[in-house]
Structure 1
């Protein structure tokens, strides 16, 4: 599908004329970066927005800055007790869930369960959050999930035989890549499982934006991008907001979007930094089903 928007569109531009009054949204990682602008656009269009953040003081500052019907709740995606507390406290329907929080190219680290840190944060934490909120999403009748990914998914598929680097040498970028592939696969399988409940999920590549996400990259990541390929935070939030709100996306799920359009599926990675498209393995329904079962099993043992 194609839209009238593109690289330079902003979150407020793509949501212009859309009334979200009466709709409830959660945005994870919404105390900085594109999460703030995603939340701002949703609230500006009338939604009741909850900022799900680790740093609630920063979240409160953001909520005051945005104004409107904005709440703050603590959520640490690497802490399953925190995820459980957040979801247990949620009541009523949830119309939009933007799984925006994430880490990039971190030094080697594991959770107390032995899970690789980037996979645990970017995928497993959001997986636990979303599956726990399934009934709230179902109650909305036409809920949308936005799964933030990256062209970094082209660095690595999910390596099922050694996701947590028990045998292969740790590489921060391959770990980031497989976690971002997992974000796409999640959208594919969530849509397959939950479309009958009126729930759709899509993966979104926001673009290259200089935010706190790059704090571990030592000059790599967006810092190496030519200036003409960098986006502002308002532009970076646009694809998330479009996928979360546009009537064009009604009933559409399991797809990958960047620059406010659905991306082309590719079988070979292009040259950096102009990576385009989505790797075929990231949309593979068999891999998506395998990842879902694997994630459920991990969480059941935790």
Structure 2
């Protein structure tokens, strides 16, 4: 239902340099001139999908969609995945401690982290580039590795990738930390009023044991659902962040595919994102059952 097709998008960029006959040939090559019904096309799509064939990417020189996605997926998972996991564990730990020590000076962290979480990704990224790249020169401002470097598994290349990914990763962590801290703190405030926490304290257990084995273990359960969704959307990447830092992830691939009306690549990316969200939710249910024995109980 979108206006135009990949051939029209290509012709718009090459006005006057492609003949009508060549345009018709491109439509035949892309399979856009088919007279088959939508139902026939849909059934054929499922047949190819079950054989692991996601089609050919129009905007990537007719390269297989699986290869295009496979080229960008590791970059997004490596950057956004590590940043999301780090943000979750750091924010949850801080939120648990702040909730345990409610009324102390640690509460001052909450409004600061909450304020930073309201700052848009792209604005924080631009500020980070201006300060740490332009002014201080500590980190590169763009790309996943230095220009002219051939990707390999040497320590020099790995160090170069880490150096380039540190600034965007820190941007993601700082921008998302407030939500994890605030959510965990609020749950800790609720859990600390429960009877089992009072009983654990009355039994003479150490404050650290009460915090880790009773309070935080129950308070973290609602966080797992949000964490699962965050893990699922890692595959989608942080689109704006990837654009600001010119990072070669799947988020940028999705934007490029949309602009080029590259339907096979768009469908492939949407499918991978959907599967990632479903798998992450299944893993969250498993973790929930492992942490909460009540979910494993069955009626006699």
How would you bin the TM-score normalised by the shorter chain?
under 0.3
Give TM-score, length-normalised by structure 1: 0.24
Q: Which has the higher strand share?
A: 1
Of structures 1 and 2, the one scoring higher in RCO (CA 8 A, sep 6+) is: 2
Give TM-score, length-normalised by structure 2: 0.24
Q: Which has the higher helix share?
A: 2
